Chain A
Amino acid sequence: MRKNRRLTAEFHYTLMIAPGLIWLILFSLVPMVGIVMAFQDFTPGLGYWKSEWVGLENFKYLFSMGDSRQVMINTLVIAFVKMILHLIFPLIFALLLNEVRLARYKKLIQTIVYLPHFLSWVILASIILNIFGYTGVINNIGGLFGKEPVVFMNDASIFRQLIVGTDVWKEFGYNAVIFLAALTGINPNLYEAAAIDGANRMRSVWHITLPGIMGTVILVGVLGLGNILNAGFDQVFNMYNPMVYSTGDILDTWVYRMGLLDLQFSLATTAGLLKSVVSFVLIVFSYVTAYKVADYRIF
């Protein structure tokens, strides 16, 4: 009886999560049926039932292929470095911004660095291609110092740096928000006490601010682990070209070319499935760690 009353009383909450649930079912659960393609030689017209069953052959072929290793390494390197820097830069920025006393200036800065987050990579990539282009800003500045212009975008040795650097630039303002929020949660009395004890700013940052938000930092870091295989499709896709395949081709772009351009649906699904499995393991690991280290639980 009580239970029923609770259900009715909280019905509107249930309603509020409905859109999210429907989204989840439509776009995450239903498509899982397609996983079966990874074990078939899938022909669209024959469908899931009649396509030939090939077992693990797609996986075997995937691993025997020359560039699947390189693609995996690219993905891991780009995603891992991104993950670390997405932690460090926003943190430093949040700490610095927190020390700014002029409230209006603080707001202004925060808004400005926040902006690029809302631009899509489609637009941003063209801007970056222009900035780093042969006749772009960077080469013009270099030219003032007598440097020969360089074509940055076809140099495989710096492509990863470019990808990671621009992504951190785009997102650090946004990622700092969560740290700024955590910073406001620190009891101001602690700072007053420290000031009375004669601690300077560096000291109070070190002994009060950092420990105060450490839990949040660990949490953000650990939760990021689940993204270790997401190197950022839209960014790489809009910025790469065949000359930087060796360092820039990631799992998602590879799957895109394989599955959508070359119609190898089964092989692309296999790669996608592999990615999902690895990500799943990492997510489980990260939640367990989050619970142990930061006492954070979702379920």
Chain B
Amino acid sequence: MKKFLGMAAVVSLLLTSVAGCGSSGSQGVATDAPVSSSSESAKTDTTEAESAVEAQPAGDLAFRKFDAPLDVHIGMSVSPTDSTLPSGDTAQDNQYTRYLRDNYNINVIVDWTAADGNDYNQKVSLAIASDSLPDGLVSKNESYMKKAAKSNMLYDITDLFQQYASEQVKGIMDSTDGRAMESVSYNGRMIALPNITVDTDGVHILFARKDWLDKYNLGIPKTLDDVEAAARVFKQEKPAGDATVPLTGPDKNGRLYCTFLESSNNQHGFDPVFGAYDAYPGYWLDNGDGTISYGTLSDNTRSALERLASWYKEGIIDPEMGTRDSSGELVNANQVGLYFGPWWSLGYGNNDSFVNDPTANYQAYPIFDSEGQWNTHMKAVGTESCLISAKASEDTAAALIIMYNALVRDEGIFDTSVAIGWYPLRVVAAPADECEYEAVELTKVLKGEADPEDYSDPMLIYKNLYQDALVVKSVIPGFEEGRDLNIGDFNQEDRGKFNRMYAIFVGDRPFTQTKIDKAVYSVTYSLTDTMEKKWSNLKKMEDETMLKIITGQADVSAFDQFKTDWLAQGGQEILDELAGLQE
């Protein structure tokens, strides 16, 4: 053991010097900001070895196998509705943890698990409050990361990351022009592994049962009027029997729309409805004249709410929205005609729909406003991050970076019929345009214009492309040029591959093929100082009012009262603060 430690120390000494030279280039963010006080301790002493002559390239370390089994303690969020884990397997012992043990000698120990959502966030919050972070932990939103960083609980991985991160990971980070690095930096030091997700995660579209639309001679829905008309027919005709839900709404843990704090991946929300009204609730909008406004307060939001309320009243939105345990279950049971969500809501998101009915022809469509424009809000780079406890040993911290590298490199070869969420501490790292890029390249393969071997470089930043290219022809035997793919064109034998291909080719089709006319970004995607104090209160008011208006528990005039109260109870203060920060 001693020998091993000694060796590790020497190796890391040598490597820091190399990394030290490299870091001044592309990853400039870390070097030119002021150095934080306490969190970097003896760990950075190694930079003394600046004079050391030669070392191996950092790439070897990125996938290093530890000589002795190394225990890594983690806290983990699990999906309460997941059914993909084979019986006998657990969060701590499944194909992913075995892969880590066999290939890297990393022995993952799950200290605790909690259900995704509030339960998990509560555990993270408690771990921070009691200063008992496990070695690794995924923070689901930026406030948790910031709170832990402020408390000096996080490992300063600035140098370690340069040594251990694979070229692939660095390439993906670079593809964001430093935004990814910025999102996990605190006082100029890197304190977490970022989650970098595809832009399309923040673009919400309509998913519809094309077979139902055809059955009743309905056209492809383009506008809200079309959506309304289709939903009305589904309500009357009940294609799935009495249990038919024409259009889903958010469930108990869902949200009506994305907000600046959670700006992506909102399944069963109403984002496209607001978009079609040119409304961006939950976003801080730059008015272009130095002032900032809050999207929820706009008249357009009010109009969209009125529309939704009329839908709810008519019964075309799930009457149990907001109180239901899971809206996803309805889709999986094929009781739903229409629902909103990001691209992966199809395929990945409703796997069981196709198990239950292999002919259910779900399709994805963008929703345009009355002038034929497609408006959508855009997301932050990534809000999740993998936190590494300051108490972890250097090896453990390195192991967590290796796990991150491994996920990025090998996600494509994993058998994802076991949900990838079971990968310990999974945070996604993908180039922002991965889905579109893949769709284009894979289409070339389908057409015979490209060969899968063209993508065989294992360090390509589009890490799934090669594996996908190898199987795309067998998963989509029915491909024909010049027409949209339907469910019948797919071979569903390999569930994991089918889900992915269906998500990319059908779920992401709108984003790949249709130009966004108006893309709206929030002025900020994190809490400001004033917000830290006042946001809970304002958010509660907003959640309550919006849901009540839609479900008819309150008249739409409650919106005006909300607007006044919101501004008076701290909203105005925040707007002023933001305007100040803009200058």
Q: CB distance A44 to B131 under 8 Å?
A: yes
Known A134-B319, A151-B319; judge A265-B129 contact (CB<8 A).
yes
Stretch from B72-80, B118-126, B219-227 forming part of the interface with A: B118-126
CB of B252 within 8 A of chain A?
A: yes
CB of B565 within 8 A of chain A?
A: yes
Set of chain A residues within 8 Å of B148, measured between Cβ atoms: 45
Q: CB distance A126 to B540 under 8 Å?
A: no
Set of chain B residues within 8 Å of A126, measured between Cβ atoms: 325
Closest to A151 in B: B319
Interface majority SS (helix, strand, loop, mixed), chain B:
helix
Q: CB distance B544 to A44 under 8 Å?
A: no
CB of A153 within 8 A of chain B?
A: yes
Known A67-B541, A154-B323; judge A44-B151 contact (CB<8 A).
yes
CB of B40 within 8 A of chain A?
A: no
Set of chain A residues within 8 Å of B147, measured between Cβ atoms: 43-44, 263
CB of B128 within 8 A of chain A?
A: yes
Interface size on A, as a range, is: 35 or more
Known A65-B537, A129-B323, A154-B323; judge A260-B126 contact (CB<8 A).
yes
Q: CB distance B319 to A243 under 8 Å?
A: no
CB of B416 within 8 A of chain A?
A: no
Interface size on B, as a range, is: 35 or more
Instruction: Name B323's contact: one of A67, A153, A258 (CB within 8 Å).
Output: A153
Q: CB distance B537 to A151 under 8 Å?
A: no
Interchain nearest-CB distance for A5 vs B (Å): 45
Known A151-B323, A263-B147; judge A67-B128 contact (CB<8 A).
no
Q: CB distance B533 to A264 under 8 Å?
A: yes
Closest to B143 in A: A263
Known A133-B320, A242-B540; judge A260-B151 contact (CB<8 A).
no
Set of chain A residues within 8 Å of B535, measured between Cβ atoms: 262
Which residues of chain A in 37-54 are interfacial with respect to chain B, using CB atoms and an 8 Å cutoff? 43-46
Interchain nearest-CB distance for B428 vs A (Å): 23
Q: CB distance B118 to A261 under 8 Å?
A: yes
Set of chain B residues within 8 Å of A134, measured between Cβ atoms: 319-320
Interface string of B121-153 (1 = CB under 8 A from A): 110011011110000000000011001101111
Known A44-B129, A66-B565, A151-B323; judge A245-B143 contact (CB<8 A).
no
Question: CA–CA, A149 to B120, complex, Å?
Answer: 35
Interface string of B96-135 (1 = CB under 8 A from A): 0000000000000000000000100110011011110000
Question: CA–CA, A154 to B553, complex, Å?
Answer: 8
* Chain A-chain B contacts (Cβ-Cβ < 8 Å), number: 99
Question: CA–CA, A155 to B130, complex, Å?
Answer: 38
Set of chain B residues within 8 Å of A256, measured between Cβ atoms: 122
Interface string of A86-119 (1 = CB under 8 A from B): 0000000000000000000000000000000000
Set of chain A residues within 8 Å of B557, measured between Cβ atoms: none
CB of B303 within 8 A of chain A?
A: no
Question: CA–CA, A265 to B122, complex, Å?
Answer: 12
CB of A124 within 8 A of chain B?
A: no
Q: CB distance B540 to A261 under 8 Å?
A: no
Closest to A155 in B: B553
Q: CB distance A261 to B125 under 8 Å?
A: yes
Known A44-B131, A44-B153, A261-B125; judge A243-B537 contact (CB<8 A).
no
CB of B81 within 8 A of chain A?
A: no
Known A44-B130, A246-B544; judge A264-B319 contact (CB<8 A).
no
Question: CA–CA, A214 to B569, complex, Å?
Answer: 50
Question: CA–CA, A156 to B549, complex, Å?
Answer: 12
Question: CA–CA, A75 to B9, complex, Å?
Answer: 59
Interchain nearest-CB distance for A160 vs B (Å): 15
Question: CA–CA, A67 to B568, complex, Å?
Answer: 13
Q: CB distance A151 to B320 under 8 Å?
A: yes
Which residues of chain A in 244-295 are interfacial with respect to chain B, using CB atoms and an 8 Å cutoff? 245-246, 249, 256-265, 267
CB of B536 within 8 A of chain A?
A: yes
CB of A161 within 8 A of chain B?
A: no
Given A67-B537, A242-B540, output 16 extra A-B contacts at Cβ < 8 Å.
A44-B128, A44-B130, A61-B533, A66-B537, A126-B325, A129-B325, A133-B320, A153-B320, A153-B323, A249-B540, A260-B125, A261-B118, A262-B143, A262-B536, A263-B147, A265-B129
Interface residues of B, Cβ cutoff 8 Å to A: 118, 121-122, 125-126, 128-131, 143-144, 147-148, 150-153, 243, 252, 319-320, 322-323, 325, 532-533, 535-537, 540-541, 543-544, 547-548, 551, 553, 565, 569
Would you mind naming 13 contact pairs between A and B with Cβ atoms under 8 Å apart? Answer: A43-B147, A66-B541, A154-B322, A155-B553, A156-B553, A242-B547, A245-B540, A260-B122, A262-B535, A263-B128, A264-B536, A265-B129, A267-B533
